[in-house]
């Protein structure tokens, strides 16, 4: 199904360990520790350099990091996700590269979107969810006359630990690359 091959070992094993740890802390503490992200990034650059050489390995890790960052930063700026989620996707990108991080992000978007709709329905907040969606898609995210932080039409319908969706997207993508 995926046209991107599975990265060489030990990358998949290490990535699985990292996403399980980050998803667990996101569920329990509602945050993704910067120390885990920093150590994961450092390890990714070292492993990539050892596996692919210093220039190619570090180049791929940088490309994956920037791709992962670029995919989630717009949602962070819209206050639809947290900074930890952006850093998590960037760190995973350092491990798996720019091509595979696209699949991870798309899979995480689908999983997170379905999860958020089910959660919103469960909590009885679908009307506010739809109002928020309408407001964002019709310019509610733009700078308003009242100032740059005016989000008068947008009210939170609740938060989800999105690191779990990113972890699930990573695991599904890695699994589908094997099949």
The two structure tokens encoding residue 11: 């990358």
Residues paired with residue 144 on neighbouring β-strands, in sequence order: 147
Express each pLDDT in 32-42 by its tens digit: 999 999 999 99
Measured between alpha carbons, how far is residue 91 from residues 35, 76, 80, 165, 170 in Å? 12, 16, 19, 15, 12
Rounded to 5°, the CA angle 108-109-112 comes to 80
Look up tokens 């990573």; give the residue.
Answer: 170
Q: State the DSSP string of 87-156.
A: HHHHHHHHHHHHHHHHHHHHHHHHHHHHHHHHHHHHHT-HHHHHHHHHHIIIIITSPBTTBTT--TT---
Rounded Cα–Cα distance for residues 107 and 170 (Å): 8
Distance CA 99, CA 175 (A): 16
Residue 97 has a pLDDT of: 95
Query: What global pTM score does this model have?
Result: 0.85
Task: Locate 62 and state its tokens.
Answer: 């940088």
User: Would you give per-residue pLDDT tens digits along the chain (179 residues)?
Assistant: 567 788 888 999 999 999 999 999 999 999 999 999 999 999 999 999 999 999 999 999 999 999 999 999 998 987 788 999 999 999 999 999 999 999 999 999 999 999 988 988 898 888 888 887 787 777 655 544 455 445 556 677 777 899 999 999 999 999 998 87
Q: Where are the domains of the chain?
A: 11-108+162-178
Q: For the segment 109-122, what is each residue's pLDDT rounded down to a tens digit?
A: 999 999 988 988 89
Q: Which residue has the tokens 């220039």?
A: 55
């Amino acid at each position: 199904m995926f046209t991107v091959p599975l990265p060489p070992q030990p990358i998949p094993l290490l990535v699985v360990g990292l996403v399980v740890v980050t998803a667990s802390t996101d569920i329990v503490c509602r945050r993704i520790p910067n120390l885990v992200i920093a150590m994961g990034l450092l390890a990714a650059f070292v492993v990539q350099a050892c596996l692919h050489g210093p220039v190619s390995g570090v180049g791929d890790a940088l490309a994956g990091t920037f791709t992962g960052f670029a995919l989630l930063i717009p949602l962070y700026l819209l206050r639809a996700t947290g900074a930890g989620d952006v850093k998590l996707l960037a760190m995973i990108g350092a491990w798996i590269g720019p091509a595979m991080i696209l699949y991870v992000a798309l899979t995480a978007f689908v999983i997170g979107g379905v999860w958020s709709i089910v959660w919103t329905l469960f909590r009885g907040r679908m009307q506010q969810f739809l109002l928020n969606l309408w407001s964002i898609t019709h310019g509610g995210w733009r700078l308003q006359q009242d100032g740059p932080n005016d989000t008068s039409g947008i009210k939170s319908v609740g938060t989800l630990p999105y690191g779990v969706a990113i972890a699930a997207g990573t695991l599904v993508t890695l699994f589908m690359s094997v099949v």
